[in-house]
Amino acid sequence: MHFNIINKNDELVMSLVHYFITEENYTPIVVKGVKDEIWLENLDGPYRIIRINSNYIHNDEQYQFDLFKTKKVVEQIKKKTLSMSMNTLNIFLNLGDNVHMKENEKNISSIKFTNVDEILKDHNIIKVFPHMKDKLIKDKEGIDLIVNVTNDINAKTVEDNKIFTKIFEPKKMVVTPILILLCVVVFIAMYIWGNGSENTLTLLMFGANNRYLVQQGEIWRLASSMFLHIGIIHLLVNMYSLYIIGRQLEGFLGKIKYLIVYLGSGILGSLLSVVVHSSISAGASGAIFGLLGSLLYFGYHYRLYLGTVLKTQVIPIIIINLLIGFMLPGIDNFAHIGGLVGGYLLTMALGVPGKSRKSDRINGTIVLILLVAFLSYMLFGYLR
């Protein structure tokens, strides 16, 4: 005698959840106050949110109220993840025959299924998730289904946890202290072998940025200038900022990517600076803004974990500092803007561990190359 410990509706839920988690990289969302519903998210997926609802809905009034609840939950997720829009797939598994379902609401697509065969015959769902045809479990039931689903999801969870732990576990800083030490050593050297950090000739001797000199072939100034500082306050403010931001981002990106972002964004900031104005400039703030741009891109991809930090810390810091840069004289705000954009694009091109797609990295690389080419043309062609 054969007994099924789960019904057909539960089996369908398990098959769908198994597929979306193991094959499409969706992760479960904990939504308070819901019952017999599964919420999944993948902010890079064709649908950012998938909701699987196995509640029995027997009339239009219940259906309309269910849609209302769905929209409210989606709005909450949008705010948490800093999303302008959130494309949602609403899957009903127990819809009464009297319900007149609206297939599409604003950003919410609704479909209903009662068995696996219906799913596999639905051309719209197969078009969006083509692997479902081969990967959706359809030949298991009861205990066999539970064992398969549990084992596969556990394996996927272990793999995801390894990536998450590797990224977010505390790490020893190496690159950031070296960068701070270099800036401090150069600052002291300007007083030993020059006339101080606020002397124009000393700044130029140690590699300050200047359009005319860069156009004469001293391109190295685009990089050397980020290790110079004009006065002790300038040095202390920048080094403190570098320490605070760098100790987080170095752990997130890894030492090599972090160094590439720092140096690359600093150079891009210097490049935009000499394109816009011809005065002498120096400082690590372009590179530090590059780290903020990098953190912005990284945090966007991990915004389920860092969304609050982005909203309350990173974005306000960027906006406030840019506003201060435009209001106060003597601040090279175009180096800040160039660094910010450079850090964002460099991180896009290098990729975020566990999140970035190949197409994102290619697009980031292309845009970065075009930007550098345009600024180089402006500097060495148009402005000569």
Would you state the pLDDT for residue 162?
A: 74
pLDDT for residue 203: 96
CATH architecture of 175-382: Up-down Bundle (1.20)
Q: Assess contact for 44 and 82: CB atoms under 8 A.
A: no
Q: Which residues are within 8 A (CB) of 341 and not within 5 positions of it... i.e. 6 or more apart?
A: 268, 293, 371
Pick the catalytic residue: 225, 273, 285, 294? 285
Query: How far, in Å, CA of 56 to CA of 62, rounded?
Result: 9
User: Which tokens is 201 given?
Assistant: 């000739």
Given the residues 225, 301, 336, 356, the one annotated as active site? 336
Report residue 37 as tokens. 């519903």
For 310, the token pair is 């982005």
What is the phi-psi region of residue 134: left when phi exceeds 0, alpha when psi lies from -120 to 50, beta otherwise?
A: alpha
Task: Show Cβ contacts of residue 145 under 8 Å, excluding neighbours closer than 6 positions.
Answer: 6, 11, 14, 15, 137
Known catalytic residue: 336? yes
Let me know: does 215 contact 384? Beta carbons within 8 Å: yes
C-beta of residue 210 within 8 angstroms of C-beta of residue 221: yes
Residues whose CB is less than 8 angstroms from the CB of residue 313 and which lie 6 or more positions away in sequence, other chains included: none
- What SS3 class is residue 57? strand
pLDDT at 3: 44
- Average pLDDT by consecutive 10-residue portion of the chain (384 residues)? 57 82 82 75 85 86 87 82 80 83 78 83 86 75 60 65 75 93 97 94 95 94 96 94 92 94 97 93 95 92 75 85 84 93 96 82 95 94 77
Q: Quote the pLDDT of residue 103.
A: 67
Q: Is 285 a catalytic residue?
A: yes
Q: Are 9 and 16 a contacting pair, CB within 8 Å?
A: no
- What pTM value is reported for the model? 0.77
What pLDDT does residue 2 have?
Answer: 44
Instruction: Identify the three-state secondary structure at position 29.
Output: strand
Residue 138 near residue 15 (C-beta atoms within 8 A): yes
> What is the distance of C-alpha 139 from the center of its chain?
38
Q: What angle do CA 178, 184, 189 make, to 5 degrees?
A: 125
Q: Are 279 and 239 in contact (CB under 8 A)?
A: no
